[in-house]
Amino acid sequence: MVTTVAPAADEVRVVVAAVLDPEVPVLTIEDLGILRDVTLDDAGHVEVTITPTYSGCPAMDAITDDVMTALADHGFDDVGVRLVLAPAWTTDWMSDAGKQKLLDYGIAPPQPRGAGGVLVALSVRCPQCGSADTCELSRFGSTACKSLWVCTVCKEPFDHFKRI
């Protein structure tokens, strides 16, 4: 008699957690902190809960498709992806590894909150040369969750992942 063991929910989570963000493809949805929950019931139904970085984020459709494809590639066809808006996503949910990946990719990661939870970005360290002598060119960069900055030392423009 052959017995099969159903995969544990944490094994399924590993598959989902490896899905890349289509806008910043060095980050996984786990690095980004938008992966909220993965459940697997006794019937084999997988339910994935994700929170967009902001309401109306255009990447959510692609992420949903990529989650479903990744799970289908591992034999899971009964999949639901649920978007939740509350609590609202915050850059505090990003992993330290994700922030380092942003920096290595040339995007300045979000800065930590100041005293009292307030942050006023007067300067952002350049991800190319490390200088703090930078200035914001535009509040919106290549995506709505990033702003465009330039380094006055190395003259390189760069995206800064905004603190949300």
> Which domains does the chain show, CATH number per domain?
9-89 (3.30.300.130), 107-161 (no CATH)
Say what the pLDDT of residue 74 is: 93
pTM of the shown model? 0.81
Please state, in angstroms and rounded to a whole number, the distance separating the CA atoms of residues 64 and 18. Answer: 13
Give me the residue label for tokens 């590993």: 14
pLDDT of residue 3: 43
**Could you give the C-alpha distances from 118 to 60, 90, 114, 149, in angstroms and in order?**
28, 13, 5, 20
Along the 164 residues of the chain, how does pLDDT read in single tens digits? 444 444 577 889 999 999 999 999 999 999 999 999 999 998 889 999 999 998 888 899 999 999 999 999 999 999 999 999 999 999 999 999 999 999 999 999 998 765 555 555 578 999 999 999 999 999 988 888 889 999 999 999 999 988 87
